[in-house]
Amino acid sequence: MTFADYGIDVKGRTSGNVKTKCPKCSASRTNKHDPCLSVDVDDGVWKCHHCGWAGGLPKEQQRQEPVQREYKPAQPQPITPTAIKWFADRGINSDTVATFKVQTITLYSHAANRKVEHAAMPFMVDGEAVNWKYRDITTKGFSQSTGGQQVFFNLDGVTHGSPVIITEGELDAMAVYQSGGQQVLSCPNGAPSPQTKNLDKKLEFLRSGNGAEVIEKAPSVYLAMDNDEPGLYWRDVLAKEIGAEKCKLVTWPDGCKDANDTLLSHGEEVVMECIALAADYPVAGIESFAGHRESINEYFKSGGAVRGLSTGWRNLDAMWRIAKKQLNIVTGIPMSGKSEWLDALMLNTISVHGWKWAVFSPENYPLEFHFQKLAEKVIGKPMFASEYVRNSITHDELNNMLGYLNDKIKPIGFDEELPTLDRLMRMFKVCVYRYKVNGMIIDPYNEVARDSAVSETDFVSEFLSRLRNFSRLYDVAVFVVAHPTKLQKKRDSNGNATNDYPVPTPYDISGSAHWRNKADSCIAIHRNQANGGNAVEVHVQKVKNKNLGACGKATLFWNWKNGRFHEEQIR
């Protein structure tokens, strides 16, 4: 099937974009000759901007190589006073019109349904017009010479090796030139639809001939596209094609769609001011301090907020405070209280700061047991009575606690699928978006499944990098509990082994030195195994952000009845 089978008149064109009448709605419209149907001949698709009708040729007929048609140059006449006035009404003076060698020609207008005067704008290469664009001065219609080369407008007017400005249309290029930006080009076909599937034909003017040479030698390229959806899309396409490293973005004033609008509304000075203020094309991952001006000022004004938030224990706050966007590693020998302390810290942030958490904790499996430990800490009573404890949690307190913890903590559960890092990251992301969590816990690290083909060192490196990036991108605090390798017991003055172990460091964790090197904070929880006491030492071993604290030790006292940690010994 062809376009004609759908009642679409592409006016003999075999490539490019065509504006034509819509066979679905034009006959019933008041303005029957309005070319409301946009057709992309190369991709074989169309859309009506009045009734919304859209479609395409069968796939096997789309994007066929067009037949090369013989170039038929225009036979224009000297520009008429009517055309000069038409340009003047758009802010373009007669000197600029003459510089661009604009002439006039009488052609049939589908919009007007008769022959009308067109402005004829030549595309010059080495002094020869290799294409002409015709602009209907009675409507917005335009066309090009049959078989004309697809090249930049004003290609002969720019100097090789100079910065260049690229606009979307010829009148925009003229507006920039008249305002003082003489090294200006415009695209031969404007901006394509963001839905265009094949851009190869649209980019020919940029990939070959003099156009490619001009862009290659230009030290910088100012992209001055229209401020609409196609223009913004085309800007990004051109930046990718040219190279983002040399592109700058021109932003037009509010209410102005393009350079010509800006000239009409604000004058030549503002056109050049917009170009002078063009920003570097943003590249993901490369930032600037100026781009964070507002947040830096807030950082300065906030004072105490940048120093982190209270942990809930004053003696620990004196050396370390909790903050978002931080990767925190917690280690300690078995039975030292790592999970108990981390649960208590989590509950303190919930109570004091209103935080919410996502928790992957096989260490506290099953879920009912973890709930018990958390509820006991919050209520301050054991869940079950015994011969030593008579005042235990009541049924009403239990149900109130269910509602409280359910709102604040989202446990990451288990099933037959292994808990890989990718899977955990997906679930943590859901918790960030859906439940607005502020903190995440993985307890312990060695329960995260690892591909046996990947070395532990490489896995730890990627594991920590991805969690650290996640914490910064999604504004959350991340805690990972990691066990140390088997430590040797301390020795007494006679060289005999004692029942106590040294305080482990991140370098003692199985895997690699990445545990210390990539962490923002490192904390070791330690309890003297020999005396069996309830004193728990919190060793802050690394704090990358000096505003959050420094290395040191705080001692807390654990209440085995309810799991709470106190700053003073329990009487």
Q: Please name the fold of domain 314-487+499-566.
A: Rossmann fold (3.40.50)
CATH class of 81-280: alpha beta
Q: What is the CA radius of gyration of the chain?
A: 35
Instruction: Report the pLDDT value the prediction gives residue 65, as an integer from 0 to 100.
Output: 47
329 CB burial (10 A radius; 0-12, 13-18, 19+): buried
What's the token pair of residue 11? 């006016």
Between CA 415 and CA 423, with CA 418 as vertex, the angle to 5 degrees is 95
Contacts (Cβ under 8 Å, ≥6 apart) of 67? 14
- Please give the structure tokens belonging to residue 79: 């520009």
Per-residue pLDDT at 143? 86
What's the whole-model pTM score?
0.59
The reported pLDDT for the residue numbered 451 is 85
The structure tokens 């001692």 sit at 555
Query: Under a CB-based contact definition with an 8 Å cutoff, are residues 15 and 201 in contact?
Result: yes
> Each residue of 90-132: pLDDT tens digit?
999 999 999 999 999 998 887 778 888 999 999 999 999 999 9
- What are the residue boundaries of the structural domains of the chain, listed by start? 3-61, 81-280, 314-487+499-566
Handedness of CA 159, 161, 165, 167 (dihedral sign): positive
Q: List Cα–Cα distances, 527 to 33, 340, 462, 538, 543, in angstroms.
A: 87, 12, 31, 9, 22
Q: What is the predicted pLDDT for the residue at 97?
A: 96
Residue 305: the pLDDT is 55
Q: Which residues of the chain have pLDDT under 70?
A: 12, 59-71, 73, 303-306, 529-532, 571
CA distance 388 to 327: 40
